[in-house]
Amino acid sequence: MTLNQISVFVENKAGKLQQLTDVLAKNRINMRALSLAETSEFGIVRIIVDDTAAAAAVLAQEGFIHSITKVLGVAIPDEPGGLNRVLNVLSGSDVNMEYMYAFLGGKEAKHAYMIFRVQDNEAVEAALAANGIACIDQATLTDL
C-alpha cells in the first residue's frame, strides 16, 4: 500500500515555486502534502496530490521536469511519543531511509501523517504491520 508522490525540479530562484503552484491552482489540483529539498541552485519539490495522473499531465504540458515515486504514508496519533514509536520500529529493522516529511491531517486532527521514502517499501510496510502500524492508501489520503 503505497502512495504516489510527484517530484518536480525547480530552480532555486525567486518565484519559481510559485510558477509550479500556479499551474496546480489553475488546473484545480489540490495538494495533500508538500516537502522541499534544496541546494543553493536547485530544489526538488515533492508533492502528493488528489489526482496524480492529472497533475503529471499538466506538469509535462507546462514543461516541468518531474518523476513519480512510490512512498509510504503512516498515520501517527497526534500525541507525545507518536513518531517515536514508528521510528523505533524502523531503526530496529535496518531500513535505508532516503528522506521523510510530516504533514497534518484534516479537520478531525487526531492524526499527523508521515511520508517515508525508503528503498524497500514492502519490507518496511511489513515491519510496521508486525508492530501494529498500518500504512494509509491513496484514497484515504485523498479523502482527508
Partner 1 sequence: MERYYQPEIECAPVEQLKALQDERLVKQVKHVWENVPYYRKKMEEKGVTPDDIHGTADLHKLPFLTKDDLRLAYPYGLMGKPLKDCVRIQSTSGTTGKRVVAFYTQHDIDLWEDCCARAIMAAGGTDEDVCQVSYGYGLFTGGPGLNGGSHKVGCLTIPTSSGNTERQIMFIQDLQSTILCCTPSYAAYLGESMKEMGLTPDQIPLKAGIFGAEAWSEEMRQDIQNTLGIKAYDIYGLTELSGPGVSFECSEQSGMHINEDHFIAEIIDPNTGEVLPEGTKGELVFTSLTKEAFPLLRYRTRDICVLSRKKCSCGRTFIKMAKPMGRSDDMLIIRGVNVFPSQIEAVLLKAGYPANYQIIIDRVRNTDTFDVHVEMTPEMFTDNVGEIQKRQNALEAGLRAMLGISAKVVLVAPKTIVRSEGKAVRVIDKRKI
Q: Residues in the site for partner 1, rule: CB under 8 A?
A: 5, 7, 9-11, 16, 37-39, 41-42, 44, 46, 63-67, 69, 98, 117
Judged by CB, which is closer to partner 1: 11, or 122? 11
Q: Is beta strand 42-49 parallel, antiparallel or unpaired with respect to 97-104?
A: unpaired
Q: In angstroms, rounded to a whole number, what is the distance separating the alpha carbons of residues 85 and 71?
A: 19
Cα 55–Cα 113–Cα 119 angle in degrees, nearest 5: 75
Judged by CB, which is closer to partner 1: 9, or 103? 9
Q: In angstroms, rounded to a whole number, what is the distance separating the alpha carbons of residues 86 and 127?
A: 10
Smallest gap from Cβ 65 to partner 1, in A, equals 5
Judged by CB, which is closer to partner 1: 44, or 133? 44
Judged by CB, which is closer to partner 1: 10, or 74? 10
Smallest gap from Cβ 41 to partner 1, in A, equals 5
Q: In angstroms, rounded to a whole number, what is the distance separating the alpha carbons of residues 60 and 90?
A: 35
Q: In angstroms, rounded to a whole number, what is the distance separating the alpha carbons of residues 138 and 121?
A: 15
Grid coordinates representing 108 are 478531525
Smallest gap from Cβ 84 to partner 1, in A, equals 26
Smallest gap from Cβ 4 to partner 1, in A, equals 12
